[in-house]
Amino acid sequence: MDIICTFIMGTICTMKNRDELKERHDRSIRLREAREKAGLGGPRKLAERFGWNENTYKAHEGGRNGFGVADARRYAKGFKVSFNWLYLGEGEATDQDVDFVNAVDIPLISWVSAGALTEQAGVTDLSDFPTVQALDLPDGEWIALRVEGNSMNKISPPESLIYVNLRDRRLAHNACYIVADETGAATYKRYRQNELPPFQPASYDDVPPPVFQGAVSVIGRVRRSVIEM
């Protein structure tokens, strides 16, 4: 009986793997078709235009890696095609999708990993991290961090989740950012252009400003802070 069960389970797994490979292949074909019809150029031009990772896109279009809902929505918007057609193979590329709530899974990373994002050989593949879901975030490349300490408690009490857009590094007065110094130590602070250092706490407590070692790099802008009640 055990041999029969093992055989059946193995057969089911094999069939599932074949279905997944076919699904990945079919999506890659539709993705290439969408790109060619959009006439926006190759992967390099797409990376420059939309901020997509060129190698990631090549792997998706080549079928070497599958892509999920978040990437499919991004590609559908960029190429002006139907998400249902691109991702699910339903209808036509020119169909109008019904309005939806954009729910995406965001990698929840550690502060150490956040600091490594400033390094050339730092974190490049975020798919291995656990995820948290977020609704209706604007376009971007997002990570989530869980706030530690009280240095930003006017905005984000301890244990808050903050959502960081890695593509938004433009400095704006009073906006909040994740930054790291040359040691790779990452911190969450508010940008105050006339203060020294310009990245300052926003706390009800008497918290001193950070002491940075060497140059400071902006990892991304914090666009949302959420605390569970």
pLDDT tens by residue, 22-32: 889 999 999 99
- Rounded CA-CA distance 6/160 in Å is 46
Reduced to 3 states (helix: H, G, I; strand: E, B; else coil), residue 52 is coil
Listed by start position, the domains of the chain span 2-88, 103-226
Q: What is the CATH number of domain 2-88?
A: 1.10.260.40
- Rounded CA-CA distance 186/90 in Å is 44
Reduced to 3 states (helix: H, G, I; strand: E, B; else coil), residue 218 is strand
CB distance 144 to 107 below 8 Å: yes
pLDDT tens by residue, 102-159: 678 899 999 988 888 876 444 556 777 899 988 878 888 999 999 999 999 999 999 9
Pick the more confident residue, 48 or 1.
48
**Which burial class, exposed, middle or buried, applies to 100 when counting CB atoms under 10 A from its CB (0-12, 13-18, 19+)?**
exposed
Identical fold for domains 2-88 and 103-226, yes or no, is no
Neighbours of 178 (CB within 10 A): 27
Kindly give, in sequence order, each residue whose CB lies less than 8 Å from that of residue 54, ignoring residues fewer than 6 positions away.
43, 44, 46, 47
Evaluate if pTM is beyond 0.85: no
14 has pLDDT over 70? no
Identify the architecture of domain 103-226 in CATH: Ribbon (2.10)
Biggest CA-to-CA distance, the chain: 75
CB distance 144 to 226 below 8 Å: no
Phi then psi for residue 56, to 5 deg, are: -65, -45
- Rounded CA-CA distance 107/99 in Å is 25
CB distance 136 to 224 below 8 Å: no
Q: Which of 202, 137, 193, 139 lies closest to 170 in space, CA to CA?
A: 193
Phi then psi for residue 9, to 5 deg, are: -65, -40
